[in-house]
Structure 1
Amino acid sequence: MPPPPAPLSIEALEEKLQQCPVVADLNAAKRAAAPTTSTLTSRLFAVLFPGSPATNALLATLYISGPPNFLLALCPTDIDPSSLSVMVAFAVGGLLGDTLFHLLPEIFLGEDSPEHVRFVLVEPNRNLLLGVAIMVGFMAFVAMDKGLRIATGGAGGHDHGHGHHDEVAPSAAVVATGIEDAKDGVKSRKKSKKDVYSKPEAQAAAKEINPSVKLGGYLNLIADFTHNITDGLAMSASFYASPTIGATTTVAVFFHEIPHEVGDFALLVQSGFSKRAAMGAQFVTAVGALLGTLIGIAVQELGGNGGAGAICCSPFTAGTFLYVGTVAVIPELLETGPHKSAELRKTLVQFAAIAVGAGIMLYISWD
């Protein structure tokens, strides 16, 4: 008996399908219906990301690390981290929108092609493995968050009120009691401003920072550096998966970086850093994103220029985005104060910000 034919790969099956007369007719109809001009979004992405996956990943890292850090020059030193809740809500909408509207559909169904129609071959085991990869990404960040909490004596946390540590990231390893001391210190200095300036000894005391607050600031920098490494890994994995996934991931992470950087900046100032020193420290932690991107590029190139590495990394990225957008950030948005009317208005604004962030990602994905 002749040996049974070897099973066809997905690529081989796709090639055979494209030779079918019915599929050829569908391809012709698709090309005829395609718009003659590219959309504004696609033209913008083509300008921002004109090179290879490695080049585009490095450019994306510069985009998400540079502008948010330069914006810190415009931030006042007495900014209240809790005032960032609307920005955090907007970032949640962007992260969840990118995950639900773009990453997950393309992970399970693949990316559309402008030249020809594509058919989805249902492979239950493959779908299960993709689901496992998403769960691994989610649980990996749970483990990192838990590990940092244990390392800091159980007082860690992922809180944008004091600093964000993401996605695309480990939670902020800050000493909670120290942060509360910092908050109380800021409030007391505001309330006793006249006394401080009227008594030299009181002014000197106001400049003293609780050691636990200083420790919280330095631990926050360590966790921030780690978080930025994971951002870089996400950038490289997404661009090797596809240019579109890379572009939308960059947008989602950029949305999240702004409240993250401002929150960390406020914490460092409360920890005793000068404005210049706090900005410098944030630039140093941004090196972590570049390091993560270079590591991701090396892994992708050594693994065959995208291939299986990108297929595995995209579900992992989706899992991390789900963790950051839900477990790590949503609890902060659920916090409420004693004034019901004010909290109701605040909640409506937060929901509106989430809708705007998700709407932008929906528009990009739809285009």
Structure 2
Amino acid sequence: MENSGVVMAGYVPEYFFAFLEELDEHPWLFSALASILVGLSGILPLLIIPIDKTASFKDGAGAATLRILLSFAVGGLLGDVFLHLLPEAWQHDLANTKEGEHVSMKCGLWCLFGMLVFIIVEKLFAAAEAEDEEDEAKPNGPIKQIEIEEIEKLLIAERKSRGKANGEGICVGNGTVSAQQLYSTCVFNNNTKGEVACCSAVSNSNGVVKCKGSNRWMGRCLLREAREKALQVSKEKSEKKDVAGYLNLMANSIDNFTHGLAVGGSFLVGFRVGLLTTFAILVHEIPHEVGDFAILLKSGFSRWEAAKAQLATASAGLIGAMTAVMFSGARNAIEAKTSWIAPFTAGGFLHIALVTVLPDLLREDDKWESAKHLAALLAGISVMAFMTVYFG
């Protein structure tokens, strides 16, 4: 072995070894760069997921492809929990367990606690969403919309009655029309979107719409405002994100923090060890990120929103790496204080996989699609098993 080292030294310039030693002097720099590189893997699915950016995720081919990716995500999460996170947590606790203590008890409790926290968070989100929907359903709710068909009837009536002695348009008799429900939904005053003459001629008094003059196309104003309101309501509903996406981002942030700790700690040992650790984490994360991306798409995120969210969670990895470097003198203490993170994250991943994602997949009636879902799930487990065995 020594002879081979001498031979190696004969072929490799001495400044190369000096260069490697110099790299070992800057662990904080390479820890930061490696964490950023691992974080960038979060946008890789944007390039490789075979879903067109204009595809609908509710029906059609886009939805079928998304369900297959979600099945892969479930398999990847289960594989990550049972083949990586929990074994790693048990191994760490086994090395630090005193005689008479139960290793599985400690990890199991943290895993259950992680599941419980995610259940509580999802419940809170669900309660808030239910309250919003209840407000929208109230007669005087903030986004209660007028049926456009109703306004179109008023528009027709207005055009028929224009020029008659009893008033202009739908303003009849004493210049009032009982339209409290219409007014509570439409916004007439301070309109800057055109047809100002129409809208400025309308005011509200005791819940009744008044027309302040003749030759006013009040029906047109009502119709336009109703359409704008309906479009706004539709946009708000389409932009709502499911809680599953936020839960997944929370779990990923915690997981990325532990990856950052590992990267920072490895570069403290040496540059070459840091490179190997970064490569192992990167290879392990790529299939994981594909599954995470699919979960975000299912939760209502657009492709670009999902990519930005993934990059945001990557900042937790950078924080973890800097934490490991800054407290390098207390490395054992950091490991002891963060040993709960792996089983806690495992509990969160279990909740996302089995409670949030899997139930939707189980509703599939088509046998061929169900078979593809099962195959994708097994593929997710297999990929994580392969990564753990060869790059663990």
Would the TM-score normalized by the shorter structure come out above 0.5? yes
* Deviations 1:113-152, CA, capped at 9 Å, x for gaps: xxxxx89876534432222111121111111111111121
Q: 1:280 to 1:255 in 2, by over 3 A?
A: closer
Query: Which residue number in structure 1 is paired with residue 316 of structure 2?
Result: 292
Decide whether the 8 Å contact of 2:71 with 2:376 is kept in 1: yes
User: Per-residue deviation at 1:110?
Assistant: 3.9
Mapped pair 1:219 → 2:240: yes
- Counterparts of 1:96-175 in structure 2, within 5 Å, are 96-110=78-92, 124-153=101-130
Decide whether the 8 Å contact of 2:297 with 2:303 is kept in 1: no
* Greater Rg over alpha carbons, structure: 2
Query: Which residue number in structure 2 is paired with residue 9 of structure 1?
Result: none
* Deviations 1:136-188, CA, capped at 9 Å, x for gaps: 211111111111111212689xxxxxxxxxxxxxxxxxx9xxxxxxxxxxxxx
Q: 1:154 to 1:354 in 2, by over 3 A?
A: farther
Decide whether the 8 Å contact of 1:233 with 1:296 is kept in 2: no
User: Per-residue deviation at 1:63?
Assistant: 0.5
Query: Which residue number in structure 2 is paired with residue 366 of structure 1?
Result: 389
CA distance in 1, matches of 2:320, 2:290: 22
CA distance in 2, matches of 1:224, 1:360: 23
Match 2:292 to one of 257, 268, 274: 257
CA distance in 1, matches of 2:75, 2:243: 27
> Matched residue of 2:240: which SS?
helix
- Using the size of structure 2 for normalisation, the TM-score is 0.52
CA distance in 2, matches of 1:326, 1:215: 29
- Consecutive unaligned residues in structure 2, runs of 5 or more: 1-28, 137-225, 264-276
Letter in 1 for 2:116: M
Query: Which residue number in structure 1 is paired with residue 339 of structure 2?
Result: 311
CA distance in 2, matches of 1:221, 1:56: 32
Query: Which residue number in structure 2 is paired with residue 237 of structure 1?
Result: 258
- Consecutive unaligned residues in structure 1, runs of 5 or more: 1-50, 113-117, 157-174, 176-204, 269-277, 338-342
Matched-pair identity in %: 20
* Deviations 1:225-268, CA, capped at 9 Å, x for gaps: 6743542321121453584984576245313133235445xx46
> Matched residue of 1:293: which SS?
helix
User: Per-residue deviation at 1:216?
Assistant: 3.4
CA distance in 1, matches of 2:378, 2:119: 26
Q: 1:155 to 1:63 in 2, by over 3 A?
A: farther
Shifted more, 227-236 versus 293-302: the winner is 293-302
Query: Which residue number in structure 1 is paired with residue 375 of structure 2?
Result: 352
Decide whether the 8 Å contact of 2:32 with 2:322 is kept in 1: no
Mapped pair 1:326 → 2:326: no
- Using the size of structure 1 for normalisation, the TM-score is 0.55
* Deviations 1:261-293, CA, capped at 9 Å, x for gaps: 5445xx46xxxxxxxxx5554454345313433
Root-mean-square deviation (Å): 4.1
